[in-house]
Structure 1
């Protein structure tokens, strides 16, 4: 294995999703329209051929995993994402930050809807832990920011 490469997220409005993830801090690495029934078949979307995808990553670094946003043009995505933190399947993705309070203030002022304010969870030693902040993207995909506390914060 080489590396964790990307997470695919189906979206209903590519421009709106790109704008949202840009506000979070992602940059567009690639944005393309495709018309290829073989590609759609490979992704098990029979009868489709048209899609737009955008690869986005933090820090414009090839070492970062990407968000692979996908909008099918002839097999429309509808409704909201069904991710939650209990049922099987992808439940969230996580963005590591060094200052969760600053991100919360910046993004709340920019219209990002959070599920709660930053929450602190400490380990049994009372020194090491995490701060977490959950949000949903425009289609309801769940993600969270994480800030490492104590010795965990010094681990890459």
Structure 2
């Protein structure tokens, strides 16, 4: 079951510069984390009970680096909090939605995540995550 929007993922070319921008906006900075499996460094900002997640590539072969090469820095994904990622993958697949991940994988903070293919939503990359924050 989808509980809430957990975070909005924003691809950035320069993490330090982006952190300063979002601090100046007045958002509450939570911290940074390198997610080796995803080849990204993240920075989180609290916005009420949701977050902005800034994503910068740590390797030119990472999905975020490829996204930025194609699209520039901009909104990347919307993450939806769920109780059980594996069950949600099954439910979505049963509804006919194409998933990028057929099994959960580890994301920031060691949380379980999975992505729906943007074709399934006519262009929006959705992430489902459990125990996000």
Normalized against structure 2, the TM-score is what? 0.44
Normalized against structure 1, the TM-score is what? 0.38
Greater fraction of residues in helix? 2
Which structure has the higher relative contact order (CA within 8 Å, separation 6+)?
A: 2
Greater fraction of residues in strand? 2
